[in-house]
Structures are given as structure tokens and as C-alpha cells.
A and B are shown apart, each in its own frame.
Chain A
Amino acid sequence: MKTLFFLLQKEFTQIFRDTVILRMIMAVPVVQLLILPLAADYEIKNINITVIDHDHSFFSRDLTSRIMASGYFRLSGFGQSFNEGFAQMETDKTDLVLEIPPSFEKDLVNGEKGKLFIAVNAINGTKANIGAVYLNRIIAQFNQNIRAEMAPAPKMAALPTIEITNLNWFNKYLDYPHFMVPGILVLLVTMVGALMCSLNIVKEKEIGTIEQINVTPIRKHHFILGKLIPFWVIGMFVFSVGLFLIARLVYGIVPQGSILLLYGFLSIYLVAVMGVGLIISTYANTQQQAMSLAFFFLMIFILMSGLFTPIDSMPEWAKWIARFNPVTWFIEVMRMIVLKGSGFHHIRLHFLVITGFAIFFNAWAILNYKKTS
């Protein structure tokens, strides 16, 4: 116990003396939480559209102005022919080309089918797809309106229509930061745990002090605890700054569920990701190696965590990777507790899994850390 105390005293002295790390601990959560949720927005806006209007009628102008009024589109120009629009697409000046045929209004007035043509630039698949969906919806709405105007009133009343009403649960106004901020908080503590912890140990290998430690009677688990506890505390601190300072004050996110439950899960989660950091540090001999290894794992952990893309739409094999990823579990728990207000019985499985991860990673690291070669 006494040994551990001397180890902790040394670690904290070193960490607080390193102004670069200290500044990083303070600045990183603030900057990341301020920039990412606002910039990495799922909502697709500013879709460039080129309209080829061969009709120049009231209807065609009405449709165009409705599209522009929706707020999703940006008119990149009117064209005389489809080829002209296509040329714009080829030079990436436009994402969508809408072609209105010459007989558009006439056909509609005569009660025949009106035809429209949409060409989509699928290089940026998400943007183009969603743009086409928005456009379809606007055209469908337009269609409804003209049918209502043109069809005789009694006949209209008889037409069966399905009206859809949405109610957004857990994030009433579909506020994007509400969805992202909890996830980004998870990333932050993961970075602190895995990256900083492994770099710290490898640094001792690099400068040679670890050899001095290895000839002392320090017990393996004391040394490892001496490394884990400081970063566990820092992880808790970074999380709290993010949750209470940024999430609450800037984005107005107040956890719906129990804060205690959240911190309970966080404390185990930190042990698990620090285990990953420890494993990395037992394999790497230089900080450069540790950095590369940590980046490799963090990339996979982050991209396969359901933060940016839903896990449900991943292929089956990828879902398995996501399941063996501790980040996935914490992001789920964060969203459940913070947005939904879930209680312990909802996340029992998550607790079990993360405890399993914590034991597995740390046991691996301790077995692999050798004082004697």
C-alpha cells in the first residue's frame, strides 16, 4: 500500500509538471465538444440543384420556388438542355439535375400524367440520396396540392388519404448535438484512457527508467495501479468538464437518468479502456510504436462504435466487431441514460459486458507485462 502511495505521488507530480499534457487535458474536451457536434452534422443541407425548365409555365415555376423554399437546396443555375445540366454535374458544380419536360403544365391540366426527371450525382452517395428523397417529398407534396386544387370538391372529399404525424421521442426537436455530444464524450475518455495511459508507460521504457523500476521490489500490480489511477482520475475529470460545463451550459443537455449510474458505468469503462492502453504499452517499445498501435485500434473502435453510423445497418460480420468494441457499449449507455433516462435494469447487460472487458483486457496486460525477460 505504501509503495502505491509513493508511486502515485510520483505520477501526479510528473503529470502536473508537464504543461503540454495539462493543457491538453483541459483544452481537448472543450474544443472537441464545441467543434464536432456543430460541424459533423448529419442533416444534409446545401444540396446543389440545377433546374432544366423546358416548360416555363406557372406550374414549373411554382415547383421550382417550392423546392428553393424548402431550405435544403441551393440553386446552382438553370440550364437550357439536359446536357448542360449534366456538364455541371461532371464538373461537380451540382448534385442534382431536375428536368421539367415542355408539356408539364399542359399534361397536368389535361388530367394526364406529368413526368419529371431527376439525375443524381452519386459520388457523394449520402448527400445525393438524401437530396433525391427530399426532392421526391417536395414533389409529392406539390402533387397533392395541385390535385386538391384541380379535382372537384365533392370528389376530393371521397379520396382516401393517409396522413402521417411524427412525434419525436427522447430528442423532441431532433436536435443534432443531443445525439452527438454524449457520443463524443465517450470518445474523449477513451482517448485519455487508451492513448495517454499507454504513452506514459512506454515513455518510461524509452528513457530507460522502467529498467530501474524492474530491479526494485515494486510489485507488478502496484506499478500498474500506479499508472492506472492517475489516468482514471483524469478521465473522470475530463468527462465531468464535458458533461457539466459544455454539454449543459452550451448545448443545454441535462441527463434524464441518474448521474450516479452514469459515473458508475464510466468508472468501469475507464478501467476497460486503460486495459487496452496497458496491452499496447506491453507490446510497444517506443512512443511512436505505441502511438501507431493506439491509433489503429482507436480508429476501429470509433468508426465501429455506432457514433457516426448506425450499427443496425452494418453487415452481420461488422456487427460482431461492434459487439466486441467497448466504445459501442458505452455510447449506447450514454444515449440511454442521458437522452432516455434509462435505469439500471435497462443496462444490466451493458454493465456485465463492460466488466467483462475490464477484466479481460487488464488480465491480458498484467500477464504480458514482465519484469524479467
Chain B
Amino acid sequence: METKTVISTENLTKRFGDFTAVNEITFDVKSGEIFGFLGANGAGKTTAMRMLCGLSNPTSGKANIAGFDVYRQTEKIKRNIGYMSQKFSLYEDLTILENIRFYGGIYGMDRKSIKAKSVELVEQLGLKEEATKLVRSLPLGWKQKLAFSVAIFHEPKIVFLDEPTGGVDPVTRRQFWDLIYAAAERGITVFVTTHYMDEAEYCNRISMMVDGYIKALDSPANLKKQFGASNMDEVFYQLARGAKRNL
């Protein structure tokens, strides 16, 4: 598979009044890459991600997602991406199958393929018994795995994950990352924010945001070399210590 660029930004900026949440960030993400988007709380990760998803209009700068412009072609972008937010985004009062059917349906999949694919999916996730139970009754870890699977159910080019493993136990997190790897292998580009530094190690490349700027961008191995650190935790501390915004 040729590695083409699926996300590219140039001086992308978002201001809220006097406050510059995201300050002229420039980066590229290649197709099939797992791109980690790191930074302390309030560094501007979520705002940047919302701009890339077409949820928030940039103040200035350029960005191109899956070949579409974030200013003029947000609806086309939305057709080609999946998104999983910090807030749990499935309907708790619908069953697993109903949630899958709904999200598959609004991405324009037909009923037949939704049905076939959802049977496959619940089997893969080991949720066959629970398929007709309300999502409300599932443990958090399962909910998160399900939410991720629903976000990539329509085979998007890129999936955006905003702190997908918050509050999930280490075993489930590991399983979650297995799902991410599987998705990347299928050619889905994964753009993920996280606070867990062990997860950062799983990424192909990571960027570190501090106070709205991207302060570092490279593979985990190169970053550790660059900062003379033995693990990603140290890299994070060195960069985030200089942050002026409240941690």
C-alpha cells in the first residue's frame, strides 16, 4: 500500500476571544499510521481534534482531511471519518445491535450488510450473548470496545479517538489496543489522544502539545533519544514542565 498523506495541517489555529487554544500547528499523518496526539490537560488536543473532524471551525490556517478541506467540505470529511469522544457516545437505552444498526444506517449502509456485519462484530467482540441487551448494562471496558468498533463500522479512512481508554483497566486497555492495531492493519488511519504513556509507546509517531503548540513530533524511539530519556514519561515531564497553562 502506498503511503499517502491523509491528514495534513498548516498553521492551523483556533482562538476563543483572547485565548488561543491551538496555535499554528503543522503536521502530516500518513495513511495506515497510528498517530498519538499527546499533551497535558488543556493543551488544546481536543480542540485540535474537533477542528479536524469538522466539529469546530478553525480561526486560521489550513487543514486537509482525507483529501477534503476543513472549511468547505466538512460534510464530505464526515463521510470518511469515524469518531469516538471522551464522553461515551452510544445510546445507553438501545441494545448493542440497535446501536450498530443505527450508526451503520446513518452512514448509508444497507440493512443486509449491516445485519451480516453486526453478527460478525458481536462474535468478534465476544458479545454474542449480550447482543440484545441494553448498552447501559455493559461494563465500561466493553462499552469502550463497542464504541470503537461502531466508530469504524462503516470502514472510514481515518478514525479519531479522544482519550478512548479513560477509566479502563489495564487488561481491557491492552485488548482495546489490539482492536486499534487490527484497524490499522486494515488500512484505517488512527488518530488518538491519550494520557497513558505506555499507550504512547504503541503509536507509530506521536506529537506533544504544550500550551497550544506542537513542541515535539517523532516516533517514540526517536523522541526518547532526542530528550535523552529512558521512557515516554520522562519525555512528557520534560516538555510539559514548561507549560504555563494550569495542569
Residues of chain A touching chain B, judged by Cβ–Cβ distance below 8 Å, are 2-3, 5-7, 9-10, 13-14, 17-18, 207-209, 211-218, 371-373
Contacts and interface: CB of A to CB of B under 8 A. Distances in A.
Interface stretch (B29-37, B91-99, B120-128, B233-241): B91-99
Contacts of B106: 3, 6-7, 213, 216-218
11 contacts: A6-B101, A6-B105, A7-B102, A207-B92, A209-B89, A215-B54, A215-B160, A217-B107, A371-B54, A371-B55, A372-B55
Contacts of A3: 105-106, 108
Contacts of A18: 93
Contact of B55 (A6, A17, A215): A215
Contact of A211 (B79, B89, B101): B89
A371 B101 CA distance: 22
A212 B105 contact: no
Interface stretch (B80-88, B169-177, B191-199, B213-221): B80-88
Contacts of B54: 215, 371-372
Contacts of A2: 105, 108
Given A209-B91, A212-B89, A372 B107 contact: no
B176 to A, nearest CB: 18
Given A18-B93, A215-B78, A216-B78, 9 more contacts: A7-B106, A13-B94, A14-B94, A207-B92, A214-B55, A215-B83, A217-B75, A217-B79, A371-B74
Contact of A217 (B78, B91, B101, B102): B78
B56 interface: yes
Contacts of A209: 89-91
Nearest to B78: A217
A216 B150 CA distance: 12
B103 interface: yes
B70 to A, nearest CB: 10
A19 to B, nearest CB: 11
B53 interface: yes
Nearest to A7: B106
B205 to A, nearest CB: 23
A354 to B, nearest CB: 32
A211 B98 contact: no
Given A209-B89, A215-B83, A372 B105 contact: no
Contacts of B93: 14, 17-18
B57 interface: yes
A3 B79 CA distance: 13
Contacts of A371: 54-55, 74
Nearest to A211: B85
Residue among B53, B56, B91 with most chain A CB within 10 A: B91
A18 B134 CA distance: 12
Nearest to A226: B106
Contacts of B91: 10, 14, 209
Contacts of A6: 101-102, 105-106
A17 to B, nearest CB: 5
Contacts of B85: 208, 211-212
A218 B102 CA distance: 12
B167 to A, nearest CB: 15
A16 to B, nearest CB: 10
B79 to A, nearest CB: 5
Given A14-B93, A208-B88, A372-B57, A217 B98 contact: no
A10 B98 contact: yes
A208 B87 contact: yes
Nearest to A17: B93
Contacts of A10: 91, 94, 98, 102
Which of A3, A208, A217, A218 is the most central at the interface, judged by chain B CB atoms within 10 Å of its CB?
A: A217
A218 B107 CA distance: 8
Given A6-B102, A7-B106, A212 B55 contact: no
A9 to B, nearest CB: 7
Most buried by A among B89, B94, B98, B160: B89
A217 B56 CA distance: 15
A373 B56 contact: yes
Nearest to B102: A10
A163 B56 CA distance: 77
B7 to A, nearest CB: 15
B139 to A, nearest CB: 18
Nearest to A18: B93
Interface string B197-224: 0000000000000000000000000000
For the complex of A and B, the 4 pairs showing the least CB-CB separation, nearest first, are: A6-B105, A208-B87, A212-B89, A215-B83
Contacts of B79: 217
A208 B46 CA distance: 14
A2 B83 CA distance: 22
Contacts of B55: 211, 214-215, 371-373
Contacts of B105: 2-3, 5-6, 9
A215 B78 CA distance: 6
A46 B74 CA distance: 68
Contacts of B107: 216-217
Contacts of A7: 102, 106
A50 B54 CA distance: 76
A66 B236 CA distance: 95
Given A14-B91, A18-B93, A212 B83 contact: yes
A207 B147 CA distance: 14
Contacts of A214: 55
Given A216-B107, A372-B54, A9 B87 contact: no
Contacts of B83: 212, 215
Nearest to A218: B106
A216 B87 CA distance: 16
